Structure 1
Amino acid sequence: MSKVSPNAELGLTPPEPDTIRDDQTLDEKPCRDAPDKYVKCASEAPDGGLKAWSVIVASMLTTFCTFGYANTWGIFQDYYEQVLLSDKSPSVIAWIGSVQITFIFLPALATGRLFDLGYFKIPYVTSSCGLVVCTFLTAECKQYWQFFLLQGLFTGLFSGIILPQALSVVSHWFCKKKGMALGIVSAGSSLGGTLFPVAGQNLIPLIGFKWTVRVFGFMMLVSLGIAGLAIDRRLPPVNVKGGLLNLSAFRNPAYTIYCIAGVACPLGLYTTLTYLPVSATAVGVSNNFPFYLTAIANAASGFGRLSAGFLADRIGPLNVMIPFTSLVGILTFVWPYASNQGQLIAISVIYGIACGTYVSLFVAPPMAMGDVGDVGRRVGMFLSISSLGTLAGTPISGAINARTGGFQGPGFYAGGVVLLSVLLLFVVRLLQLGRLYGKC
């Protein structure tokens, strides 16, 4: 390897092409031995200041309009089943929401690579405009294929371009306080998941479905407009060798197993959030209330996301994710047996906190499994792989529901795969630490 110039070491100029290699992640295990490059990242990142916090606010507004909007799919599922698409099965309708969430993750491989190369503002602003336009056009949809293309495919695609960039840029500004920063950023999706369904529940009876979705579009227009002005990178672009993929990252067993866990967990993670309103209606809860269960779960997840960030900085993200993800799996088993409004509210609150913890931290481990110059590509590969789980999860649950006529089957399926992912997280933690106890 050629010698790195002092300016490059200070992050003032891009490093020489051969200063960052594909195999650099192989021996970098920050949980155990805190390599020089990880320490360098921690010493250079400002971890605060007006500019850094303005970027965090911009990233939070991004999650508000992407994950926050996607997390409200349960209200659309319920409304489409009862009104607009009543001739379609729950499983068929669920594909709209599943494709939307999948495409939030799927483009991350390409957008992560573009982020590392410095292509940031133009893709972000262009895709933000596309997301707003798709939301307004969703209000005009009448047929299933129209909802599938606009609300499922294109809304997910534009969200998937801006979200990975908004997450990756956090590592440019925060390192020692990265867990806290990610917790605040992910709280945006909790805020969106609370405001969108509450607004929908109150506005649909007053102004109808079309104007309610248009109001959602105006909310996104303002939020993403502010975010586009505030969000920015700190470090110069880095042309990491290897092109779009860094296949040598998979020689790190911890990263490989973490990617497998990233597929398993979403196979069951979104089942409860998606079918809570439908299951509430099935057990006789008032027609006006099921919409609020999604809002309650997302509001509670805000507490989980913020708490997870503070805890992760102290004890490590995996040490926080494992117990709370286990709680997600257990509650997924319990949820189908809730038979009244009070029980459903309790499950919504606890599930929201536990689920929010996982969602706020799930990109933190791959961020720390290599060099900061390659963070976009490494996180992008993980998100693209995990999209396989988000694509299949809720439709499988919907198919099981349609075949069995109840929610016990989907609950056992979804809870089982979530707990499987917890076992894989245990293995990742052991590989990272090399022992049973410690911060990781």
Structure 2
Amino acid sequence: MSSRFEATTIRHGADDATTAMASRTQTLTSPPSMEELKKSNISDVSTVRGQNDQPPASKEEPEIGNEYAAVDPPTESDSDFPEGGFRAWMCVFGVSCGTCATFGFVNAWGVFQAYYQATLLKDSTPSDIAWIGSVQYALVFIPGLVFGRLFDMGIFKGPLIASSALLVAATFLTAQCTQYWQFILCQGIAVGLGCGMIFGPIVGTIPHWFKKKLGVALGLMAVGSSIGGCVFPIAVQNLINLVGFQWTMRIIGFIQLFLMGICILGAERRLPPRKRSGPFFNVRAFKSPAYTWYTISTFVSFLGLYTVLTYIDVSAQFAGVDPNFSFYLLSIANAGSAVGRVGGGILSDVVGALNIMIPATFIAGILTYAWPFATSKGAIIVIAVIYGIASGVYVSLLTAPIVRMGETHDVGNRIGMTLTVLAFGALGGPPISGAINDATGNFKAVGIYAGSTVMGGVVLMLISRYYLLRSWRGKC
């Protein structure tokens, strides 16, 4: 009985290189020797049936292959990645446009929160309105579980085109909404679902092209969402005054159509798809303590991470800042996040992603505590800028540590599972903050709640880092 081992065979023209990179996707006609197992970095030889009628491995023993693909160290060498070139950077540009149309638009929710509270949904509570944005945030991440796996299987462009059409259509339909349930369906569920079907898979293309420069590539990719989060709020606020809400949403839809066209042309896979991709939710991936603790940390962090961005406009007006200026605060924060995304990406390639994310997220937590106590225009601007930079570092590098926690051809599955888990934090965070605000009548308790969850995420990232390095020191 032959044994199956999966991986990717990369040829460099020399027999030794071919042997070193031969992988688990080959079907071997005879059981591998001990020497071959060592060369293939396979440590659990008890699962291989030899010719000496050894008993088969028990069902409880892990099988070599798909189940362990998410927790084994990567088998790709640094020389296998282009690390640049026209096609690689076009992929980054295309994905950046995609994140601008999706995550960038979702990041502009704060201006809709303030507008709906004052006009279209003024009879609804802030917490109720926040559910529209929270559903959006959550659905940006939840579809990653399914579409990340489809991406690993090589199914990419078809779903990307279909989800782009859904996003644009949902944005157009939002223009016709007048009641709360209509906004939940169109702007919350349909827009969020379209964004999620796009976001997870396109982010998974970047690790196909970069390894040493992955941080820079992810940082540049994430600039797109910062640009969207900066431009969309200003555009929405000014267009509403000029052409009204309906035509504002239609114009936004046409902008998304243009950006997604570039994304479809630019974003591309490089590595061959997996023939056997296993279950959509690979529970065995969580046998890695580093991956498990990191995934939990994202859930806890997102319970409070978007509170400031959701309510900074409203809280500024509550503190007495001119409403004609307060809506710019979200754009200011997103402009700061662009600096954090690029700077964090560059530094992460030097010292490691977690080594940058942990202190940056700590700063974001401190500023979340301080945010409700800022009452002057200048103080709120300073908090918006620094918070934007710090949170931008975290969001841009969110998937980078996951790449190190398994093989590159399984990265879509691991990213999808993590995004799905953190989505529930993004779903509950802003409404919980809104409920606290309703109960207390101010944002001070909101800041304490949100800041504490962000700090909890920092502690959990430290634990994940320790398990990944088995040390408190080192590049990670």
Cα distance in 1, alignment partners of residues 328 and 114 from structure 2: 12
- 2:432 paired with 1:396: yes
The 8 Å contact of residues 296 and 349 in structure 1, kept in 2 or not, is answered as yes
Partner of 1:68: 104
Cα distance in 1, alignment partners of residues 8 and 437 from structure 2: 61
Partner of 1:315: 351
The 8 Å contact of residues 116 and 239 in structure 1, kept in 2 or not, is answered as no
The 8 Å contact of residues 149 and 277 in structure 2, kept in 1 or not, is answered as no
Residue 16 of structure 1, CA deviation: 3.7
Cα distance in 1, alignment partners of residues 460 and 5 from structure 2: 39
Q: Structure 2 length as normaliser, TM-score? A: 0.88
Q: What whole-Å deviation, never above 9, does each CA across 1:328-369 have from its counterpart, x for those lacking one?
A: 110000000111211111110000000000000011111210
Alignment of 1:38-437 (within 5 A): 38=76, 40=77, 42-437=78-473
Write the letter of the residue equivalent to 1:313. D
Partner of 1:32: none
Q: What whole-Å deviation, never above 9, does each CA across 1:22-80 have from its counterpart, x for those lacking one?
A: 1134452xxxxxx6x14x2x221101010111110010011101110011100000000
Counterparts in 2 of 1:43 and 1:341: CA distance versus 1, 3 Å? same
The 8 Å contact of residues 240 and 373 in structure 1, kept in 2 or not, is answered as no
Write the letter of the residue equivalent to 2:307. T
Partner of 2:66: 21
The 8 Å contact of residues 206 and 214 in structure 2, kept in 1 or not, is answered as yes
Q: What whole-Å deviation, never above 9, does each CA across 1:217-273 have from its counterpart, x for those lacking one?
A: 111011101111222111111134532121111111111111110100000000000
Cα distance in 2, alignment partners of residues 390 and 302 from structure 1: 21
Q: What whole-Å deviation, never above 9, does each CA across 1:135-173 have from its counterpart, x for those lacking one?
A: 111111100011001100011111101101111010111
Cα distance in 2, alignment partners of residues 266 and 67 from structure 1: 15
The 8 Å contact of residues 6 and 66 in structure 2, kept in 1 or not, is answered as no
Root-mean-square deviation over aligned CA pairs: 1.8
Cα distance in 1, alignment partners of residues 169 and 79 from structure 2: 41
Counterparts in 2 of 1:88 and 1:6: CA distance versus 1, 3 Å? closer
List alignment gaps of at least 5 residues for structure 2.
13-20, 28-62
Cα distance in 2, alignment partners of residues 247 and 195 from structure 1: 40
Cα distance in 1, alignment partners of residues 23 and 70 from structure 2: 22
Counterparts in 2 of 1:6 and 1:78: CA distance versus 1, 3 Å? closer
Write the letter of the residue equivalent to 2:154. G
Write the letter of the residue equivalent to 1:201. Q
Write the letter of the residue equivalent to 1:146. Q
Cα distance in 1, alignment partners of residues 8 and 427 from structure 2: 46
The 8 Å contact of residues 7 and 22 in structure 2, kept in 1 or not, is answered as no
Write the letter of the residue equivalent to 2:299. V
Cα distance in 2, alignment partners of residues 311 and 208 from structure 1: 43
Q: Structure 1 length as normaliser, TM-score? A: 0.95
Between the aligned residues of both structures, percent identity stands at: 48
Write the letter of the residue equivalent to 2:430. T
Write the letter of the residue equivalent to 1:15. T
Residue 3 of structure 1, CA deviation: 6.3
The 8 Å contact of residues 240 and 374 in structure 1, kept in 2 or not, is answered as no
Q: What whole-Å deviation, never above 9, does each CA across 1:94-116 have from its counterpart, x for those lacking one?
A: 00000001000001010010000
Q: What whole-Å deviation, never above 9, does each CA across 1:368-396 have from its counterpart, x for those lacking one?
A: 10011111111111100111100100000
Cα distance in 1, alignment partners of residues 276 and 8 from structure 2: 19
Counterparts in 2 of 1:27 and 1:234: CA distance versus 1, 3 Å? closer
List alignment gaps of at least 5 residues for structure 1.
29-34
Q: What whole-Å deviation, never above 9, does each CA across 1:165-200 have from its counterpart, x for those lacking one?
A: 111010111111001000011110000001101112
Counterparts in 2 of 1:14 and 1:199: CA distance versus 1, 3 Å? farther
Residue 5 of structure 1, CA deviation: 9.0
Cα distance in 1, alignment partners of residues 90 and 7 from structure 2: 31
The 8 Å contact of residues 6 and 23 in structure 2, kept in 1 or not, is answered as no
Cα distance in 2, alignment partners of residues 88 and 240 from structure 1: 49
Counterparts in 2 of 1:206 and 1:236: CA distance versus 1, 3 Å? same
Counterparts in 2 of 1:63 and 1:6: CA distance versus 1, 3 Å? closer
Residue 4 of structure 1, CA deviation: 7.0
Cα distance in 1, alignment partners of residues 72 and 256 from structure 2: 42
Cα distance in 2, alignment partners of residues 296 and 302 from structure 1: 10
Residue 6 of structure 1, CA deviation: 8.3
Counterparts in 2 of 1:3 and 1:219: CA distance versus 1, 3 Å? closer
Aligned residues: 431
Cα distance in 2, alignment partners of residues 372 and 344 from structure 1: 42
Write the letter of the residue equivalent to 2:248. T
Write the letter of the residue equivalent to 1:206. L
Task: Look up the SS of the partner of 2:215 in the other structure.
Answer: helix
Bigger CA radius of gyration: 2
Counterparts in 2 of 1:150 and 1:382: CA distance versus 1, 3 Å? same
Greater helix share, structure number: 1
Cα distance in 2, alignment partners of residues 181 and 359 from structure 1: 14
Cα distance in 2, alignment partners of residues 51 and 128 from structure 1: 22
Task: Look up the SS of the partner of 2:304 in the other structure.
Answer: helix
Q: What whole-Å deviation, never above 9, does each CA across 1:2-22 have from its counterpart, x for those lacking one?
A: 467984567999934898431
The 8 Å contact of residues 8 and 14 in structure 1, kept in 2 or not, is answered as no
Write the letter of the residue equivalent to 1:110. V
